């Protein structure tokens, strides 16, 4: 089996899959905050104009745009910044180690989105369709 040939074929497709799955997972944070789907107790009385509330709007819109692969580089860059801010505002003050301050997901999203911002949307996206 030639792994180099496989990677040439599958790398762009896996980029699209990474973008879609990251977008779907991220989208659920926004739907939980603003649409109450799924119901998350800590978001029950969320002020829409608070920092988590504003982040929820970015999660909703950004998640949809990532799933569709529309304006992907800009969206992913903005969401990467959002996750960096989320880490330093909400998690880092609770301690140095991400495993102890529950910041692992924010860091992972930050770097996945930064990668997507650099790599683009992949072939299965509205961005790719617009380029054709």
pLDDT of residue 117: 98
User: Encoding tokens for residue 52?
Assistant: 């988590």
The 10s digit of each residue's pLDDT in 72-93 is 999 999 999 999 999 999 999 9
Q: Are 60 and 27 in contact (CB under 8 A)?
A: yes
The 10s digit of each residue's pLDDT in 34-85 is 999 999 999 999 999 999 999 999 999 999 999 999 999 999 999 999 999 9
Confidence label for 5 from pLDDT (cuts 50, 70 and 90): confident
The answer to whether residue 1 scores a pLDDT higher than 80 is no
* DSSP secondary structure letters along the chain: --HHHHHHHHHHHHHHHHHHHHHHHHHHHHIIIII-SS--GGGTT--TTSHHHHHHHHHHHHHHHHHHTSSHHHHHHHHHHHHHHHIIIIIGGG-S-HHHHT-HHHHHHHHHHHHHHHH---SSSHHHHHH-
**How many domains are there within the chain?**
1
What integer is the mean pLDDT of 120-129? 98
In which domain, by residue range, is 31 found? 3-131
Residue in the block written with tokens 């982040």: 55
């Amino acid at each position: 089996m030639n792994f180099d040939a496989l990677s040439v074929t599958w790398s762009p497709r896996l980029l699209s899959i990474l973008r879609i799955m990251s977008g779907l997972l991220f989208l659920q944070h926004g739907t939980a905050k603003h649409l109450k789907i799924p119901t998350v107790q800590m978001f029950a009385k969320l002020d829409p104009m608070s920092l988590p509330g504003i982040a929820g709007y970015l999660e909703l819109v950004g998640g949809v745009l990532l799933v569709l692969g529309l304006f992907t580089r800009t969206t992913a860059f903005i969401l990467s910044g959002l996750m960096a801010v989320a880490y330093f505002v909400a998690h880092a003050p609770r301690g140095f180690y991400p495993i102890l301050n529950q910041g692992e997901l924010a860091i992972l999203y930050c770097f996945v989105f930064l990668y997507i911002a650099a790599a683009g949307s992949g072939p299965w996206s509205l961005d790719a369709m617009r380029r054709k």
